[in-house]
Amino acid sequence: MPELPEVEAARRAVEENCLGKKIKRAIIADDSKVIEGVSSSEFESAVVGKTIVSAHRKGKNLWLQLDSPPFPSFQFGMAGAIYIKGVAVTKYKRSAAKDNDEWPSKYSKFFVELDDGVELSFTDKRRFARVRLLKDPTAVPPISELGPDALFEPMTVDEFTESLSKKKIAIKALLLDQSYISGIGNWIADEVLYQARIHPLQASSSLSKENCATLHKCIKEVIETSVEVGADSSQFPSNWIFHSREKKPGKAFVDGKKIDFINAGGRTSAYVPELQKLSGTSASKAAGKPRKQASKRKGGKAKDSDEDEEGAGDEPTSEEEETTKIAKSRKGVDPKGRSKKPPVKRKNKESDDDGGDDGGKSDVSSESDDEDLKEKAGKVKTRTSNKQAKTAKTSSGQAASSQNGKKPKRAK
């Protein structure tokens, strides 16, 4: 998904091309999943005639400050992207619009035309993004819950080292926690851990001061480098693991060393076992557990790590779906395929002593049920006996008529 560098590139593009210009026209998609908490017509009327004063970002969130509130706020999700017509804005590899696509794209969720003819669009093909209209975006979630921005509000080395010493969680999972540091996503976490030679599952509190200092330095360098080139991945250094992290297992290498894929922090994680080794207690714990491989796509390709984000709790995995199917197929059916009868509840010894949770009502109910069953059985028996007697009487009458030479009358 778009991470800090991609969102920062979008912010800078807006800053360079849209500030001081008035919104002449707006088209907001009628999509309540993406456009949150406001109708498209209300959104349009709230921004038309307003001037864009500035563009802000924290973590992976962007918002436009207008000359008066409320302000449009964008949470990029898995494939959100900002496009400005005629301007080269970095496109995330899974964003919807292409140079030859219709304009605005059919996936556009927020489109505005400015008074000088500039047109801006926020698109989202996969619909995991969120577009909101907020009086103060920083005062409400998700922005209010974010930790310090990795680019604008970096911790000092000492602050970083001290904070890690108090965290027992695996370092990869911690870096992905937006309430700890905002802006670091899956590919940045993999990159900085590779550059720092730290295993994704290494416990944060077990890192030495030297490890902490190295990791702090790598976070700064990776983010600044990617931002400087406008998040254009083709310009990332050739020795970055980024360029090989989506290749098939067994065919992914960086500087001649094999890349392996594991699940860390709930995400598919690329690392180099030869250089990133577990140590101390983390190594001991890992040795006692069966190794979990990252899930794969059809054809053996590693499942893209970015597909785990935000979408991860929304759709069940194939394993979860299979488990659900098995559970449903077994429910209420015995091994031979016949429907099972509900088990008869029996009163246990404990309920005999204390009357059970219903204060003895179960006993009364059971006795009443027994009496009802006996009464019904008696009625059925009586009806059966009467029917048999009637049948016998009819048969006798028919036999007598036959002997007298008369045809028996048909029973009505």
Of 50, 60, 109, 172, which is the active-site residue?
A: 60
Q: What angle do CA 293, 295, 296 make, to 5 degrees?
A: 120
In contact, 170 and 201? CB cutoff 8 Å:
yes
Residues in the chain: 412
Of 206, 248, 240, give the one whose Cα is nearest residue 221: 240
Rounded Cα gap, residues 349 and 68, in angstroms: 72
Active-site residue flag, 22: no
Of 166, 180, 173, 233, give the one whose Cα is nearest residue 198: 173
Residue that is written with structure tokens 């080794």 in the block = 277
Active-site residue flag, 3: yes
Active-site residue flag, 60: yes
> Which pair of tokens denotes residue 148?
């310090």
The dihedral through the CA atoms of 215, 216, 218, 223 has a sign that is: positive
Sheet holding 81-84, edge to edge: 23-28, 108-114, 119-123, 81-84
- Cα separation values, 319 from 291, 292, 316, 324, Å: 17, 14, 8, 9
Coil, strand or helix: which one is 260? strand
Of 3, 191, 246, 309, which is the active-site residue?
A: 3
Residue that is written with structure tokens 């990029």 in the block = 76
In contact, 29 and 40? CB cutoff 8 Å:
yes
User: What is the full DSSP assignment across 171-194?
Assistant: HHHHHH-TTTSBS--HHHHHHHHH
By annotation, the residues acting in catalysis are: 2-3, 60
